[in-house]
Amino acid sequence: MGLLRKILRTQPTPTADGAFSPSALAIKLGTSSTTDYDGGAYPSRYTGSKNRVLMICTEQRNMTMANGKKFSTGNHPVEMGLPMLHLMNAGFEIDIVTPTGAPVAIEMWAMPADDADIQKLYRDYESAFQNPGSLADFVSKSMTDDAPYAAIFIPGGHGAMLGLPDSADLGKVLHWAHNTNFHTLALCHGPAALLAAKSDAGFLYAGYKITVFPDSVDKQTPMIGYLPGPMPWWVCEKLRAQGVEIINKKADNSVHVDRRLVTGASPQAANNFGRLAAETLLKRTEANS
């Protein structure tokens, strides 16, 4: 079996820190050197006072799978980058935080090497990714009713499952965003982090409809070496248990808005999600200006 996996290039690739990144075949099938970014043009940019988006990223690199092997993950560069481009082109500024202020973990193996827009974005934001703000500091100092925010954004990548779903600080931010009437944006595995909004009073998003990366696909990807083993837990299963309705069945380009929650299903949805998020924020912030 090991020889066959080697011939088919389905063996996960070892990393220097003892984890595994996806196999050569999984990289070929699951990533692209370019994106479907549509240029992010908007008839008018937002110019009001609620012009900031708080992007909450993971700082954790390795996910321990059910078999004990570690998957080298983080935030997916396309799922983070395309929405950033759309939001900035629509007139919003991005503030980047991680739970403690440690550098943003990024799935560099998924970086689209031939996409000029994404490459420029990551050059421009290199320092911000290496030196983000602290979510803990944000909670203690910046959660005010008059804060200049239009939304919070949780990008995808399996890394969104690490630390964020159990973060008391993230739970406070999600409730604050909800109570302050601005939007929450979450893409692919990003909705896993919404689990931080559980409380004794119930789950903040119970009864919501969302799009999210399907458990059925995560169960299949170890066969091609994308993951080095079965997932430690299942995102859709956990969300459904909290009363969330998942409306997509495939890892496709579907996106959805339910009240002030904007979601997208997979990396294929990153451009659609970015445009929907930007247009949704433009409509709401301009109406409230």
Q: Is residue 72 part of a domain?
A: yes
- What pLDDT is recorded for position 6? 59
| Distance (Å, whole) CA 134 – CA 120 | 25
Q: Which of 90, 188, 193, 269 is catalytic?
A: 188
163-193 b/e with 16+ CB inside 10 Å = b? bbbebebbbbbbbbbbeeebbbbbbbbbbbb
Does 122 reside within a domain? Answer: no
Task: Let me know: does 173 contact 179? Beta carbons within 8 Å.
Answer: no
Whether 248 is in a domain gets the answer yes
**pLDDT for 288:** 59
Q: Residue 200's pLDDT is what?
A: 85
pLDDT value of residue 116: 98
What pLDDT, on a 0 to 100 scale, did the predictor assign at position 199? 87
CATH number of the domain residue 239 falls in:
3.40.50.880
CA distance 46 to 289: 10
CA 39 to the chain's CA centroid? 20
CB 121 within 8 A of CB 84: yes
For the CA atoms of 11, 248, 89, 38, the dihedral, rounded to the nearest 10 degrees, stands at: 70
- Among this protein's residues, is 188 annotated catalytic? yes
Q: What pLDDT does 8 receive?
A: 55
> Among 58, 143, 57, which Cα is nearest to 94's?
57
- What residues contact residue 218 under an 8 Å CB cut-off, 6+ apart? 227, 231, 234, 235
Contact indicator for 227, 12 with CB cutoff of 8 Å: yes
Q: Is the residue at 206 inside a domain?
A: yes
| Site of tokens 């200049």 | 148
Burial environment of residue 159 by CB neighbours within 10 A (0 to 12, 13 to 18, 19 or more): buried
For the chain, residues with pLDDT lower than 70 are: 1-8, 285-289
Residue 117 lies in a domain: no
Cβ of 215: how many Cβ atoms within 10 Å? Answer: 18
Is there a contact between 56 and 84 (Cβ–Cβ < 8 Å)?
Answer: no
Please name the amino acid found at residue 152.
I
3-state secondary structure of 80: helix
Per-residue pLDDT of 255-272, as tens digits, reads 999 999 999 999 999 999
Q: What is the pLDDT of residue 194?
A: 98
* Total tally of structural domains belonging to the chain: 1
Q: How far apart are CA 60 and CA 72, in angstroms?
A: 9
- Amino acid letter, residue 145: D
Give a yes or no: residue 79 inside a domain. yes
Angle at 94 between CA 274 and CA 124, to 5 degrees: 95
The tokens for 285 are: 């912030």
Q: Does 134 reside within a domain?
A: no
Residue 3: per-residue pLDDT: 45
What is the model's pLDDT at position 254? Answer: 98
Q: Residue 125 domain-assigned?
A: no
Give the whole-angstrom CA distance, residue 128 versus residue 122: 9
User: What pLDDT, on the 0 to 100 scale, is given for residue 184?
Assistant: 98
Tokens representing residue 251 in the block:
């890892």
Q: Which domain holds residue 233?
A: 2-8+15-98+141-153+181-288
Q: Can you give the pLDDT at residue 1?
A: 43
